[in-house]
Amino acid sequence: MKRLLMLVGLSSTLVLSAAACQQPSGTGPEEAAPTEEGAPAEEATPAEEAAPTEATMTDGAADPMAFDPASKGGTLIIGQEQEPDTLYRLGGSMLAASHILNSIYDGPIEGMDYDFQAVILEDLPKLENGGATLEMVTVEAGQQYVDPETQEVVTATQQVADLGQLTVTFKMVDGLTWDDGTPVTADDSVFAEDLSCNPLTPTSKFTCDRTASYTKIDDKTVEWKGLPGFTDQTYYTNFYAPLPRHQKGADGTAMSEMAADAILKDETFTRKPMSYGPFKITEWTSGEKIVLEKNEHYWRASEGLPFLDSVVHRFIPESNTLLQSLKAGEIDVALGLTLEQYDGLTEAEAAGEVKAYTIVGTSWEHIDFNLNPTDDRVPVAACAEVRKAIAHGTDRQNMVDTIQKGKTQVQHTFIPEDHWAFPPEGVVTVYDYDPEAAKTMLETLGFTDGDGDGIREASKDITCTITTDVNGTTKDQTIPAGTALELTLNTTEGNALREQSTLLFQQNMKDIGIQVNLEYLAAAVYFEDGPEGPLFGRRFDLGQFGWLTGVQPPVGLYYCSEIPSEENAWAGQNETGWCDPEYDQTAKRADTTLKRDEALPLYHEAQRIFSESVPVLPLFARVKVFGTRPEVVNFKPNPTINSETWNVEAWGFAEGAATAP
């Protein structure tokens, strides 16, 4: 289950800055489980006056960090479904933990609105503002560098000249202080880097492996230097959030003197880590709640923050109970609601009991075509015209309206239209719902319904050619005459959203003469690594699941080298088997271009190639649902921050409103 773990690691990076240093985004399927967000109810149109607040992208003019005034004091109670397994920032990856960790750690960098913002840094250090430099260097035999083409770490066998080496200087803001009054220093950040890169710490080592040095310059400044050749487009996020090296563990030993694996198990760090954020942990009652109180040493105290005296996280396992508790005033904020509660939530809003929020998240559903199966199934999806016909034959807008209550949009590539890298109109091939065009494509290719049973068959041998590697090697895939156009779509079981979307898809395909059989599998089986796993073993016709996207476009998902196979120990993520050397070259150039404005046209071109070939049929990004009491202010869920407590220091109650005791 390597990919599920990858997802978890990425979520913790984007949400918590858990590894304290940003990692590549967009690589890892979302975990498919019965309690997964987004399980919809039947379509219902709420009363106009009860329409929920839609948290949308900022237009660039507004400050996303700005907040409204709130009354001082009070206790705010948050209801969430799960209890964290640990609060050690480098030891876990649960979203449940991020809701609490946002109260004890600020930033250090937020990935907000598909972009990055400095929080505890004076600025994001870039080439443009002098915070970073790029120097051309020569590597001698025996020294490590990063291959500019593959971005893999290699050891030079001879002298290699003219490799770019990045140096980035990070300056922390003034006043950062641990909750015991000890100043936060650069030493704490260097310590965090050492610990994060330790083999015994369960964090991604991607950036660690490509780091030449991470050193203290002065008490509030650190310098990151990459290995020669490492062209990291998000180099300005390679800062490690401080850890309290002076905090003592259960036996009185300072954190800096403890082994990495011992820290993972020490309850001082897993249940009551020291804070430099707006609140500090004072109580954790297992199975019930975590209580946090105002940190008197908070670096933003001069701004009057935090507004609240305390925050309580209550663990309420059932989402229906969450909603009832919110309506009854037993909690002030409900995290983890689903579209199944949408109607009840909007009814409660119309009655003045709650305030409802919806937001389009970063998890996007898609149906993948298998162009090059590893078993003996007929490779029907190898034909681009079949894929295009299926795309035209799928009423994705109906899925959005029916399953997501019209609160999201049909997606056309691996990023949404409000992403900074989405191309202008006319670049991406858009497959509007057009069943007649779909039928014509299939007829032209040679799929007809000769026996009148409603299912098309190949009227002749149909041969389609695919590319199998980055060198342009091709392979003919033949569909024998008489082969029925019958495909199996598999996905995860126990997921209402996927059950509904697959049923709609099945009917759409029947309408154009394609028989689709549905297969629902346990997530552990479905996402199993190859060769046994049906998805990543490439033993499927059509597969539906979700990827997470983020600030950086996840172009790397579809590299030729990412096709899972015996050659790469089935570790790749491009289970479609689609390989396009032009896409590879363009996407890799985009990812290794340091300046965004220069990378942008390359990302556009990569999406043009992708959408034209349509190895994947994007469906929609999934809607997330939340609720608060009407008097709660500054609750601002954001598309690319998975935890809604990212700005908890500004949460509070409207001035003059009654507050919890």
* pLDDT tens digits, one per residue of 494-533: 999 999 999 999 999 999 999 999 999 999 999 999 999 9
Tokens standing for residue 586: 């363009």
What pLDDT sits at residue 157? 97
Quote the CA–CA distance of 509 and 392 in Å, as a whole number.
Answer: 10
> What pLDDT score does 61 carry?
37
Alpha helices (H) in 373-495, listed in sequence order: 384-393, 396-403, 435-445
Question: What span, in angstroms and rounded, lies between the C-alpha atoms of 653 and 74?
Answer: 8
Q: Write out the residue limits of the CATH 3.40.190.10 domain(s) in the chain.
A: 2-109+268-361+623-653
Assigned superfamily of 362-621: Dipeptide-binding Protein; Domain 3 (3.10.105.10)
State the pLDDT at residue 151: 86
Tell me, what's the pLDDT at 319? 87
Residue 187 DSSP one-character state: H
User: Which ranges in 486-552 belong to alpha helices (H)?
Assistant: 496-511, 523-526
- Angle (nearest 5°) at CA 562 between 557 and 567: 170
Place of tokens 């996303």: 64
Please provide residue 591's backbone torsions phi and psi, each rounded to the nearest 5 degrees: -70, -20
Question: Which are the contacts of 559, defined by CB distance < 8 A and separation ≥ 6?
Answer: 574, 584, 587, 588
Q: Which two tokens stand for residue 271?
A: 């249940």
On whether the CB atoms of residues 103 and 279 are closer than 8 A, the answer is: yes
The rounded distance, in Å, linking the Cα atoms of 356 and 350 is: 10
Q: Residue 58: its pLDDT value, please?
A: 31
pLDDT < 70 stretches in the chain:
1-64, 658-661
All CATH 3.10.105.10 domain ranges of the chain, comma separated, are 362-621
pLDDT tens digits, one per residue of 620-635:
999 999 999 999 999 9
Q: Across the strands, what pairs with 624?
A: 359
At residue 356, φ and ψ (nearest 5 deg) are -100, 145
Q: What pLDDT is recorded for position 660?
A: 46
Token pair in block for residue 216: 């203290």
Preceding omega of 639 cis (within 30 degrees of 0) = no
CA 477 – CA 474 distance, rounded (Å): 10
In this prediction the pTM is 0.86
End-to-end CA distance of the chain: 45
> 47: which 2 tokens?
């009363």
Q: What is the β-pairing status of strands 486-492 and 515-521?
A: parallel
Among 3.30.750.24, 3.20.20.80, 3.40.50.720, 3.40.190.10, what is the CATH number of 2-109+268-361+623-653?
3.40.190.10
Residues near 362 by Cβ (< 8 Å), separated by ≥ 6? 548, 549, 550, 621, 639, 640, 642
Residue 445: phi and psi, rounded to 5, are -70, -25
